[in-house]
Structure 1
Amino acid sequence: MWGAAGGPASAASRSAREAARALAARMTPEEKVGQLFMIEVAGRDAFRVSEAAAALNRRRYGVDTPAEVVRRFAPGGVIYFSERGDDNLGAPGQIARLSGSLQRVSRDTSGLPLIISVDQEGGAVSRLPTPPATEQPGNMALGATWSTADARRSYEITGAELDACGITADHAPVADVNVNPANPVIGVRSFGASPRAVSQFVRAAIDGLHRGGVAATAKHFPGHGDTDTDSHVGLPRITHSRAQLDAIDLPPFRAAVDAGVDLIMTAHISVPALDPTGVPATMSHAVVTGLLREELGFEGLIVTDALDMRGASEQFPPDRAAVTALAAGVDMLVLSPDLPRAYAAVLDAVRSGRISASRLDASVIRVLSHKIRRGLFAATADEARAERGVGRPEFRSDVAAITARGTTLVKNDGGVLPVTTGARRVLVTGADAAAVSRLTASFRTRGHTVTALDAGAAPDAAVIEEAVGHTDAVDLVVVATSGLSVGGGQDQGAAQVELVRALLATPSPVVVIGVRTPYDINRFPGAPVYLATYGNGATALDQAVGVVVGEHGPSGRLPVSVPVAGDPSRTLFPVGHGLRF
């Protein structure tokens, strides 16, 4: 743990750093450079993988299996995915077996353990398969509870399940303050729009992950909350002044440092107020060393966001990206798109003196110190423990209650909700196929007769006509909307809005459920009933149906403000708004 202002909190921390120095003194330059990389591997087993996984490993690294990748490069860490072709994450026992095998291979190769990590934020970014893993509501849904105790418990459960699987670090929580409703990459991944509230929730999340047994990562420094560009596809430009950064973006990161966060992840964003050269923050010495390391006093691990994202790779090819980020002050390079090329470039920079021995050692000592402090040299992974420790009944029960407390009733004109008159005929439709399916199942479980119509992401006139045609035979219409204010383009949003408006024009009562961001209501402010769930997971939607049918009342309150469409200077619903019945 790190103390206030990132300083060592205990004699144990100082001891870990001295032990790390001793280890580093015995390492070759090649071994040190390997510790700077956090890589991905393809396959669910360290030694036996599918032909598709083997082909992917060969294309990336020239070898077939995860074990061979670790032996060849002796990296500092790995990051698991359930997509990108990697397919690392299946049953809990399988994940634990993979983790344990990779740790043994790493120790046999270099004498050092791995940081095994994953992006398990909850909600929109959840890597572990659910079920059996507990389906977490995500940050904005937690923000809507206005309960840091709920956030702490949610992240504690996440930490416990990751720890059971042999995963040692979570790349969470997101510490960005989402002040831009059009943000295409953060949105519901943020706790909200209030810097003070986000700071409190970030503290709670870090504490929860530590209680669960894993390291925490605050991201995306220095703040990705006010952009309408996705850094996966381009380089966002943050136009906040230094005063705005201090007031809005930096407080959650200061709170994270003070709370003892283990890692901070840099963002591929340009922030002219901090660095007028326009380079991504990941590559900026002024941001990484000047602001984060020196001004905020963070002494833990600074890691990059994925270097294969266009926000980094568009200007910086793999060799240049790796060397530039390290020169800026980063400690670990995550997902270099060409590891052999990047590794060779860093090693060459070390040998030529472009990266000094002291600069290299500073990062290596921080990596090793982290591994010592977190007990990774003795880390084990047990398949039976993983199967027992993931998706425990008390975890699911606690999270269902937390999710219910975040469900937000934004509008209820005429007291339409709750609908409590027994079994009813319900039309469930909308643009989100998963949401339509999950809402349908939830209503049917409660004995209602349901007509389900997946309208598609951009319903055409025929689909809209079909949906309207069903309204004559039902007592209630439930329509799910998804991300009208962000992503997908204006045409997609317009088509969803036309569906909602056509349904509102029928005599049937209509309940609109925003299953992604809570901002959708500003596209049809005349809708009499609007619920925000902040996600389309089965638990979130089941709790929303519980509100609709009166099993429990809504208690969530908006953690963001909803602006008037087309006029962000005017507020339709303020932060803290939420109805009860």
Structure 2
Amino acid sequence: MKTDKGKKKQDKKRKFLIFAAVLLCLICIAVIGMSIREIIEKSAETSSVGSRPKTTKDSGHTQEKRPEKKENEEIQQPKKSVSEAERILLEMTVEEKAAQLFIITPETLTQEEVLTQAGDVLQNAFASYPVGGFIMMQGNIVSPEQITELNHTIEGMSINAVGLKPFLAVDEEGGTVARIAGNETFPVENRGNMSDVGSTGDPMKAYETGAYIGGYLAEYGFNLDFAPDADIWLNPENTVVRYRSFGSDVQLVSDMTAAAVRGFHSAGICTALKHFPGHGGTAEDSHEGFAYAARSPEELRECEFLPFQAGIEAGSEFVMIGHITVPEITGEGTPATLSGNMVTDILRKELGYEGIIVTDAMNMGAISANYSSDTAAAEAVKAGVDMILMPADFYGAYEGILSAVASGEISEERLDESVKRIIELKLKL
């Protein structure tokens, strides 16, 4: 019996140990299963966070994660905006830029005695030499219909060649200088000399005269008048500007000049103040040779410069430099046209003029009798001039500019400076 009882106790003990072992195994399996599940869940959460859009604390808006910059990758800088004028300039050749500096008569390109119609010869020549503008002289102007058609055709040629309108200019001051009002075939009135307008003492008369002249010029296709004359008539023996000047009083001439500029502008015509630094105190005629102004810089600032300043403030697009020698500024024997002291230091810097500076006609005696066309053109640009009017030898002057640029005598940056001014104004025409 004892043996049976002992066996039963051992069986119970064995069963208890087996039960305990099984229970322990189950507990271990459960613990291990939970750990594995946590690892899987954390792994999934980490993967999900890495691919989910970022949320800003402030706004709650999602932000896409930016790709990291590669080690050698360049940072893209924002591009500087390029103006329309700069875009056109960038597309121009040096030859096209050089041609834009010139205003010539149309027959200069065709080698005819006088041109009144724009045919294939002019069109072909213009394609090779797309000049900045044309000035129409007495012979080019026959009738209202003819000059309107000529201007219209030339404008189309220029737009087709370089994408820009040309300057279509004329000398129409009124009175003794009137290419159109002095022609009987035109139904317009010659409003008389500016000396007569000035004698009224009323700037409104100058405004009305400018508006009237500008009105018929615009009707006939012009966009630039080489007027008004801003000279003060200081020398009674000076016959060059005697009737072209508004008078001899500084304030009067200043007021009249500004009013005339505004009058032309009201009709959509660009103006050119002339003849800087002042032709009214000279005795000589620059058409024939050097004209001298024995004036100090201080005297000029207190007198001759003032009408030009008034015209500049009124918005004149051009200032015409005269072939006038001022020894104390330009030195002996150097005309203002070729003087950096006069063009750049005084007109551009001191007076702050930012418009186009154009020469007086370069075929006049003061230049043609003393300089070759290539030298004169290059020296004018070096002095700070933007446009060259009627050189005695256009082709020589054109080649003179190209040679000076090629040699570095004139930098391409200097050339671009003038051409950009020209383009900027043409885009407004």
* TM band (smaller chain): 0.7 to 0.9
Shift of 1:110: 2.2
CA distance in 1, matches of 2:221, 2:287: 28
Match of 1:31 in 2: 96
* RMSD between aligned residues: 2.0
> How far did residue 205 of structure 1 move?
0.4
Please state if 1:126 is matched with 2:178: yes
SS at match of 2:377: helix
CA–CA distance in structure 1, aligned partners of residues 105 and 120 of structure 2: 13
Q: Give a deviation string over 1:439-471, Cα, whole Å, max 9, x none.
A: xxxxxxxxxxxxxxxxxxxxxxxxxxxxxxxxx
Say yes or no: does 1:71 pair with 2:123. Answer: no
Letter matched to residue 131 of structure 2? P
Q: Secondary structure at the match of 2:142?
A: coil
Counterpart code for 1:40: T
Which of 307, 312, 321 is the aligned partner of 1:252?
A: 307
**Using the alignment, how far apart are the partners of 2:297 and 2:112 within structure 1?**
47
* Residues in 1 aligned to 2:248 and 2:125: alpha-carbon distance in whole angstroms: 42
3-state DSSP class of the match of 1:56? coil
Which runs of 5 or more structure 2 residues have no equivalent in the other structure? 1-81
Unaligned segments of structure 1, at least 5 residues: 1-16, 47-52, 376-581
Write the distance in 2 (CA, Å) between the matches of 1:70 and 1:184.
38
The CA distance in 1 between the partners of 2:111 and 2:101, in whole Å, is 24
Picking from 148, 155, 166, the partner of 1:96 is 148
State which of 79, 85, 90 in structure 2 corresponds to 1:20.
85
Output the TM-score relative to the length of structure 1: 0.57
How far apart, in 2, do the equivalents of 1:179 and 1:135 lie?
26
Q: How does 1:307-326 map to 2 (within 5 A)?
A: 307-326=362-381
The 3-state SS of whatever aligns with 1:264 is strand
Partner of 2:112: 55
Within a 5 Å distance, the mapping from 1:103-502 to structure 2 comes to: 103-128=155-180, 129-130=183-184, 131-373=186-428, 375=429
Whether the aligned pair in 2 keeps the contact of 1:55 and 1:64 (CA below 8 Å) is no
Taking the aligned partners of 1:95 and 1:55, their CA distance within structure 2 comes to: 17
SS of 1:121's partner is: strand
Q: Distance in 1 between matches of 2:397 and 2:409?
A: 15
Would you say the 8 A contact 1:38–1:334 is kept in 2? yes
Contact 1:42 1:65 in 2 (8 A): no
Which has the larger Rg? 2
CA shift for structure 1 position 141: 0.7
- Residue 54 of structure 1: CA displacement? 6.0
C-alpha change, 1:124 and 1:69, in structure 2 (3 Å) is: farther
Q: Is the 8 A contact 1:57 1:65 kept in 2?
A: no
Q: Distance in 1 between matches of 2:120 and 2:392?
A: 17
1:70 touches 1:102 (CA, 8 Å); kept in 2?
no
- Whether the aligned pair in 2 keeps the contact of 1:57 and 1:64 (CA below 8 Å) is no
Report the alpha carbon displacement of residue 184 of structure 1 after superposing the two structures with TM: 2.5
Instruction: Supply the distance in 1 between the matched residues of 2:424 and 2:332 (Cα, whole angstroms).
Output: 33
Shift in Å at residue 171 of structure 1? 0.3
- Aligned partners of 2:121 and 2:339: how far apart in 1? 35
Name the aligned partner's letter for residue 91 of structure 2.
R
Partner Cα distance (2:412, 2:111) in 1: 36
Higher helix content, 1 or 2: 2
Q: Segments of 4+ in structure 1 off by > 4 A?
A: none
- How far 1:133 sits from its partner (Å)? 2.4
Structure 1 CA distance, aligned partners of 2:120 and 2:341?
40
**Partner amino acid, structure 1, of 2:146:** Q
Amino acid at match of 1:36: L
1:201 offset after TM fit, Å?
Answer: 0.3
* Separation in structure 2 between the aligned mates of residue 39 and residue 33 of structure 1, nearest angstrom: 13
What is the rounded CA distance, in whole Å, between the counterparts of 2:346 and 2:408 in structure 1?
Answer: 25
